[in-house]
Amino acid sequence: MNLPLPLALDRISEELTRLHGRALALQDAASGGGAGMQDLDRMTQELEALSGFVGGMAGVAREGGAEFGPLLAAVPLGDLRARLSGEAGAAEGAGDLELL
């Protein structure tokens, strides 16, 4: 099966959006607090950011473009942005702590 890049990116974005919704529901259900809640909050933020990034990539690819730099610059989480860009020293779990 041949799957065009824009369609593949759209589908990945949709799945990430779905997972983001599930993470939000889990976050609400487990609102008792603790370090696990911070991890869940972070995962929720990363899913939302990845969904937006991949959805933007699909739009650029659909228009025949290949310049994703502006989309990358718009990723709100610095450590995620660094990992996506392949910057040296982008350690897993390092970087911004953003609580809602």
For residue range 19-67, list pLDDT tens digits in order. 888 888 887 777 766 667 777 888 889 889 998 998 898 888 888 888 8
- Tell me the domain boundaries of the chain: 5-85
What is the per-residue pLDDT across 54-86, written as a single tens digit (0 to 9) for each? Answer: 889 888 888 888 888 888 899 998 988 888 888
Residues 6+ apart with CB under 8 A from 60: 66, 67, 68, 71
- Predicted TM-score (pTM) of the model is 0.69
Give dist(CA 33, CA 60) in Å, integer: 39
**In whole angstroms, how far apart are CA 25 and each of 20, 30, 78, 88?**
9, 9, 25, 34
